[in-house]
Amino acid sequence: MAFNRKQKLRDNIEAIRTAFILDRENRTATTEERAILQRYCGFGGLKCILNPAKELTDAVRWAKSDLELFAPTVELHRLIRENSKDETEYKRFVDSLKASVLTAFYTPKEITDTIADVLADYSVRPARMLEPSAGVGVFVDSMLRHSPNADVMAFEKDLLTGTILRHLYPDQKMRTCGFEKIERPFNNYFDLAVSNIPFGDIAVFDAEFQRSDSFGRRSAQKTIHNYFFLKGLDAVRDGGIVAFITSQGVLNSTKTSVRNELFSQANLVSAIRLPNNLFTDNAGTEVGSDLIVLQKNLSKKEMSQDERLMTVIQTDTKTDLTDNAYFIHHPERIVHTTSKLDTDPYGKPAMVYLHEGKTAGIAGDLRRMLNEDFHYRLAMRLYSGTIWQSGTEEKVTVQKEAERPAIKLETVSSAQTVETPTEKPQPVEEKPEIEPRPKYSDGVQLSLLNLWGMTEEVSQPKTSKKKKTVKKAVTAKSTPPKPKVTVTPTAPTAKPAMENKEVKAENTAKPADPDDIYAKLDWETNPPINGFYEMMMELTPERRKELRELARQHNEKHENRTVATITPEVPREQPRQEETQPEAVAAPAVTDAPPETVATSLFPDIEPEKPKEEVADLTPRAYHRTPEMHLREGSLV
């Protein structure tokens, strides 16, 4: 069937109109509406939308061969403008359509069905499927026929095409964005990646590829088809399959770094060169393409002979024709009936392959070649490794629960896993990350209750039994007495030190139960914490002032005694007379002690002493400064 541009443009307009209606009414498509949406074929063969079509006068700038498409193009622009929120959204829709003109060549339904059928024949029924360039989902539809419960994630960068795709498959993950937006958690996730990927010298920025140490991964960003291959290979799991239809630029490129990177982590399953007239019926264009099927293998050590051939480029010196060495050595892997030497879309010499059987004949030859390649190269044990293990574990769990009292040996799965009547191993108790706390504390820090500087070392409890008499003695000694402040402070004695030594000696024998330590405290007569707060509350401002005065007198006596020991000619009666001075003194005597000695009071920060107010000197004095210029002729001079 020849490509009818006017009919294809009309189908696209009706599909876009239907998608806008479904968006506005917020509902799913009916059977008739789904048929309209499925007739959408993209704008790969409709370059007329690149021409201006805002006014009727723009028709003058159109070629005569395209004038019949002017009216539908104007209708398309009017439809998009009426369903856009503003001018910015309208431009986004139009620019997105124009950007897809060079790459939106949709694969015929017969080809996608053939690939899906061969995969299903070899038990490749993915549970997780990736479509990085979905279009309207022809590959998704073909794969869901064999795996209706598959979890599909599809990407489509074109805004209008993505809207149509979302209405065709509302139950699947259809994302209207570029494939480069896929998140890192989806690496090594999918069982199958299948698509007709875009091609061309379109650069794609990917931060992971940019930071990579591999030159092949960094250089793959310069061409979108190379990038899609490596990115798709990253997304599938070990043993997963990547089946992409791409341009001949992947295998015919003279730069072999990308192909070396591909075959360093994947096995070649099939490489088939498709005829140039594959997209003639759907896109009205002739372009060369290849079907490349790879199987990811992270434990790969070396390349096979065919894989080495695919990394080699041979050039004919007579015709200046550059081609991949694999197809030179395997011409039977080229789907065609006729061939001729011509040029590619870039004007370089290239072989043009045609198939006279149209799409049906191409699909038949493709099925035969894929069957042969899958039979010899597809490693089903590698593909089904992860799926088989998870399925076997589920079967074993179910049979163990249902047939627990059974003693005889039984086959669990196809892998002949035998369950023996051995005793169930006891689980090993692992040490938790956070150890549980005991019901009692390891020890009580008595030094925290000692508020007056009388610290003591607390030894660890011993396992030996303790006598009751020792317990009574410790009870009497362990509680520190409440301090009593007297008017005349006495010199420090060694008694507290002796008491500390006695307490330390008696505390060496600790009770076996750490909770017994609380029985030593006299909680009723003098609770440690409560006694401290009661003493603090008794210190009124007058009492604190009196204590500061006593501290100052104590410091003066200590300094005078120090001076008396250094200079014996000073009589000793002088400090004694100072001691007999009355306690209530209005102004303290001036001493040579530095002002820092006042800081020995109990609460210097709470109630500091008020500084004395200086009396201002208000006595009259003569004016001694030179009068200013503006005052010399005034009344003040």
Query: By the 8 A CB rule, do 245 and 107 touch?
Result: yes
Question: Percent of the chain beyond pLDDT 90?
Answer: 42
* Contacts with 633 (C-beta within 8 Å, 6 or more apart), sequence order: none
Q: For residue 349, what are the β-bridge partners?
A: 343
Q: Is the pLDDT confidence value at 500 over 70?
A: no
Question: DSSP assignment, residue 155?
Answer: E
The 8 Å CB, 24+ separation contacts for 442-449 are 442/514, 443/510, 443/514, 443/517, 444/514, 444/517, 444/518, 446/478, 446/507, 446/517, 449/480, 449/521, 449/528, 449/529
- The 10s digit of each residue's pLDDT in 536-570 is 666 678 888 888 888 888 888 888 877 666 555 54
pLDDT at 607: 53
**Inter-residue contact 134 to 142 (CB < 8 Å):** no
Measure the CA dihedral 228/229/230/235, to 10°.
Answer: 80
Angle between helices 468-478 and 495-506 in degrees, nearest 10 = 150
Q: Tell me the pTM.
A: 0.61
Contacts of 241 (CB under 8 A, 6+ apart): 119, 124, 191, 192, 193, 194, 269, 293, 294, 295, 296, 383
Q: How far is CA 577 from the centre of its chain?
A: 83
Checking if the pLDDT of 533 tops 60, the result is: no
Domains of the chain as residue ranges with CATH: 5-99 (no CATH), 109-383 (3.40.50.150)
DSSP state of 594: -
Q: What is the pLDDT confidence band of residue 44, given thresholds at 50, 70 and 90?
A: confident
Instruction: State residue 263's pLDDT score.
Output: 94
CA distances from 92 to 75, 96, 156 (A): 17, 6, 15
In this structure, of 41-55, 306-320, 412-426, 542-556, the range with the lowest mean pLDDT score is 412-426
Q: Check pLDDT > 80 for residue 450.
A: no
Find out whether 351 and 320 touch, Cβ atoms under 8 Å: no
Task: Provide the CA 529 distance to its chain's centre, in angstroms.
Answer: 51
- The answer to whether the CB of 293 falls within 8 A of the CB of 373 is yes
Q: Evaluate whether 386 touches 298 at the Cβ level (below 8 Å).
A: no
Q: For residue 111, which amino acid is it? A: I
Instruction: Identify the three-state secondary structure at position 262.
Output: helix
For residues 526 and 312, which has the higher predicted lDDT (pLDDT)?
312
How far apart, in whole angstroms, are the C-alpha atoms of residue 205 and residue 224?
Answer: 10
Q: Which strands make up the sheet holding 190-196, listed edge to edge?
A: 173-175, 151-155, 128-131, 190-196, 236-247, 289-296, 266-274
Alpha helices (H) along 507-630: 528-538, 541-566, 573-579
pLDDT at position 564 = 63
Longest Cα separation, the chain: 136
The residue type at 630: H
pLDDT recorded at residue 304: 94
Q: Look up tokens 């001079």; give the residue.
A: 637
Nearest to 466 by CA among 502, 396, 400, 513: 513
Is the pLDDT assigned to residue 535 strictly greater than 50? yes
The predicted pLDDT at position 531 comes to: 55
Alpha helix segments (H runs only) across 169-248 = 207-210, 215-219, 224-235
Given this model, what pLDDT does residue 579 score?
44
- For 20, residues 6+ apart whose C-beta sits below 8 A from its C-beta are 79, 83
Could you tell me the pLDDT band of residue 202, with boundaries at 50, 70 and 90? confident
What is the pLDDT confidence band of residue 324, given thresholds at 50, 70 and 90? very high
More reliable by pLDDT, 86 or 103? 86
Q: Does position 119 have pLDDT exceeding 50, yes or no?
A: yes
Looking up tokens 């204590």, which residue turns up? 547
Q: Categorize the per-residue pLDDT at 41 as very low, low, confident or very high, splitting at 50, 70 and 90.
A: confident
Please identify which residue in the block is written with the tokens 């420090």. Answer: 492
Strand (E) or helix (H) holding 80: helix 70-82
Of the given ranges (105-109, 303-307, 508-512), which has the lowest mean pLDDT? 508-512
Q: Please, what is the end-to-end C-alpha distance for the chain in angstroms?
A: 119
Nearest to 42 by CA among 134, 113, 115: 134
In tens, the pLDDT along 265-319 reads 999 999 999 999 998 877 677 888 999 999 999 999 999 999 999 999 999 888 8
Q: What is the pLDDT of residue 423?
A: 45
Phi, then psi, of 124 in degrees rounded to 5: -90, 90
Which pLDDT does position 473 carry in this prediction? 44
Dihedral through CA 98, CA 101, CA 102, CA 105, nearest 10? 150
Q: Which residue has the higher pLDDT, 623 or 579?
A: 623
Higher pLDDT, 179 or 509: 179
Higher model confidence: residue 58 or residue 239?
239
**Contact (CB, 8 A) for 283 and 105:** yes
Residue 617: per-residue pLDDT: 78
Buried b (16+ CB within 10 A) or exposed e, 281-317: bbbbbebbbbbbbbbbbeeeeebeebbebbbebeeee
> Is 90 exceeded by the pLDDT of residue 132?
yes
Amino acid at 282: N
Residue 199 has pLDDT above 80, yes or no: yes
pLDDT given at position 543: 81
Q: pLDDT-derived band of residue 384, with 50, 70 and 90 as boundaries?
A: confident
In angstroms, the CA 310 to CA 308 distance is 5
Give the integer Cα–Cα distance in Å for 405 and 410.
13
Q: What is the pLDDT of residue 603?
A: 52
What is the number of alpha carbons within 13 Å of residue 630 lying toward its C-beta? 0
Residue 605's pLDDT is: 52
State yes or no: pLDDT of 365 exceeds 90. Answer: yes
Cα distances from 633 to residues 29, 247, 629, in angstroms, run: 102, 103, 8
Query: What's the mean pLDDT in 62-70?
Result: 88
